[in-house]
């Protein structure tokens, strides 16, 4: 009789534990750095505050995510910047919980591809420090003047990562950030990058090149691959896979680039 009671007690305890574990699981929006990050939803769908797709996870997993300090990224945008160059990585970083803000030479509105009007958050005169600075193509080779390059150089010692998409690589090159490194750029600008920066090994057969702290990508859509790689590098591969799945970017394959230094 005593043994039977012990067995029954164990069964009830296991069932209770399983029920508690199940009760602890809910649906949360992808981190968007807003108050809704803490809201637990009972059913899958989208967050009615930020419209992010809800993800199933435990309360402990969400609390762990909330304890992570968001990586800040300064997107330098120039007049004529290519839309997908910056919009693709912006989507990736936003979904992954990075904090992105825009910078330009001034805060005057700029026009992307003659279509999209953008009002920068900051100018190079008042932009806050960030963990990462990103440059993009579209009129880039002509737009990165001495003032912009001077600003970039002034941030070198305070910035952990430098990221470029397409001809944004020319900004990094002008600042000396590509010296003795390997880089890539838009396929029609490969030869020009080689001629412009003799200390840089330029490759044309990689979606992105990771030198450790300096990451360059090929043109336009390749910026998405580079951004997903950075998310995997800084937050883990699962975070990048989740972002790619959310964006329905089926073509992405982890580590599909030239990784010369895998660790941050």
CATH number at residue 150: 3.40.50.880
Scanning the chain, the segments in alpha helix (DSSP H) are 2-23, 59-66, 83-95, 140-143, 146-154, 169-174, 190-196, 222-235, 237-247
The whole-angstrom separation of Cα 164 and Cα 223 is 8
Output the tens digit of pLDDT for each of the chain's 264 residues: 555 555 454 454 444 444 444 558 999 987 766 788 889 998 888 898 877 778 888 888 887 777 767 899 999 999 999 999 999 999 999 999 999 999 999 999 999 999 999 999 999 999 999 999 999 999 866 789 999 999 999 999 999 999 999 999 999 999 999 999 999 999 999 999 999 999 999 999 999 999 999 999 999 999 999 999 999 999 999 999 999 999 999 888 888 899 997 444
* Domain co-membership, 180 together with 52: no
* Domain co-membership, 46 together with 111: no
Contact (Cβ atoms closer than 8 angstroms) between residue 184 and residue 204:
yes
The whole-angstrom separation of Cα 9 and Cα 12 is 5
Q: Is residue 10 part of a domain?
A: no
Q: Is residue 138 part of a domain?
A: yes
* Domain co-membership, 62 together with 119: no
Q: Is residue 222 part of a domain?
A: yes
Distance (Å) of CA 90 to CA 61, 99, 180: 24, 10, 28
* Domain co-membership, 249 together with 201: yes
Number of structural domains found in the chain: 2
Q: Which pair of structure tokens corresponds to residue 22?
A: 């199940």
Q: What is the pTM of this model?
A: 0.79
């Amino acid at each position: 009789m005593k043994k039977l009671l012990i067995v029954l007690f164990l069964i009830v305890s296991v069932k209770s534990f399983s029920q508690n574990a199940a009760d602890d699981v809910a649906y949360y929006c992808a981190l968007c750095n807003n108050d809704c990050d803490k809201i637990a939803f009972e059913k899958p769908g989208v967050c009615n505050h930020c419209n992010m797709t809800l993800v199933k996870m435990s309360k402990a997993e969400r609390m762990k995510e909330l304890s992570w300090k968001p990586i800040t990224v300064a997107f330098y945008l120039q007049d004529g910047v290519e839309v997908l160059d910056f919009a693709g990585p912006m989507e990736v970083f936003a979904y992954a919980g990075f904090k992105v803000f825009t910078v330009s030479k001034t805060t005057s509105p700029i026009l992307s591809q003659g279509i999209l009007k953008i009002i920068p958050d900051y100018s190079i005169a008042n932009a806050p420090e960030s963990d990462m600075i990103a440059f993009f193509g579209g009129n880039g080779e002509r737009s990165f003047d001495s003032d912009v390059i001077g600003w970039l150089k002034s941030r070198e010692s305070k910035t952990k990562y430098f990221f470029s998409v397409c001809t944004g690589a020319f900004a990094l090159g002008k600042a000396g950030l590509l010296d003795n490194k390997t880089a890539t750029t838009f396929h029609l600008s490969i030869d020009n990058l080689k001629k412009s920066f003799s200390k840089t090994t330029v490759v044309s057969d990689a979606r992105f090149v990771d030198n450790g702290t300096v990451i360059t990508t090929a043109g336009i859509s390749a910026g998405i691959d580079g951004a997903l790689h950075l998310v995997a590098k800084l937050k883990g591969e699962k975070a990048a896979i989740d972002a790619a799945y959310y964006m329905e970017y089926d073509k992405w394959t982890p580590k599909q680039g030239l990784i010369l230094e895998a660790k941050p």
